[in-house]
Structure 1
Amino acid sequence: MMKLPVKCPSCDEQLRVSKLICSSCETEVLGKYSLPILMLLEVDEQEFVLQFLRNSGSLKEMANQMGKSYPTVRNKLDDLIVKLNVLQNEQ
């Protein structure tokens, strides 16, 4: 699966959504929209967030499933929280 680009390949600025198309009736919506903040995360970070939600926020369970230590998983979550705060402040 191709990853949706979020940074401009020319100047590295954040991309915005400008066109949406219905695959059923071909209705088009034009405008300038920001990407949802979770889409600005790397694919592995998005998967981590999904796994966190599926495990009802249990880092202990995630650590068991991932075969990693609790502190490692906790640090990953802390890093994501910092990154999300930075991304939110940039919008």
Structure 2
Amino acid sequence: MKLPIICPSCDHTLNVSQMKCPDCGTNVNGDYELPVFLKLNREEQDFILNFFLSSGSIKEMAKQAELSYPTMRNKMDDLIQKIDQLKK
């Protein structure tokens, strides 16, 4: 099951309020903000993972996705800008 990150009523980012250990059953309750990575959509998360797995090579990512380097660079720049906004 995919972790919901957006409120279905008002479109704001959800916070985590409870986590449970599947081994011992311990519950942790509170009001915790999601890490920036989890605030990104699945495609953006995959982009970051692929960047990491390609050893940080935008050139290699572009090759694998059959896109030009400038197109992949623009995708990276857009994601950087979004992350900067989420951190504020």
Per the alignment, residue 48 of structure 1 pairs with 47
Which residue in 1 is equivalent to 2:62? Answer: 63
Identity %: 53
Shift of 1:12: 1.5
Which aligned pairs between 1:72-91 and structure 2 lie closer than 5 A? 72-89=71-88
Output the CA distance in 2 between the equivalents of 1:53 and 1:11: 33
- Please list, as runs of the form range in 1=range in 2, the aligned pairs for 1:9-24 lying within 5 A after superposition: 9-24=8-23
Count of matched residue positions in the alignment of Structure 1 and Structure 2? 88
Do structure 1's residue 37 and structure 2's residue 49 form an aligned pair? no
The residue identity in structure 1 corresponding to 2:27 is E
What is the Cα-based RMSD across aligned positions, in Å?
Answer: 0.9
Q: Which runs of 5+ in 1 are unaligned?
A: none
Segments of structure 2 that go 5 or more residues without pairing to the other structure are none
Instruction: Give the equivalent residue in structure 2 for 1:6.
Output: 5
Partner Cα distance (1:64, 1:29) in 2: 44
Structure 2 Cα separation of the partners of residues 87 and 3 of structure 1: 20
Letter of the 1:73 counterpart: M
Normalised to the residue count of structure 1, the TM-score between the two structures is 0.92
Partner-residue secondary structure (3-state), 1:46: helix
Q: Distance in 1 between matches of 2:65 and 2:50?
A: 10
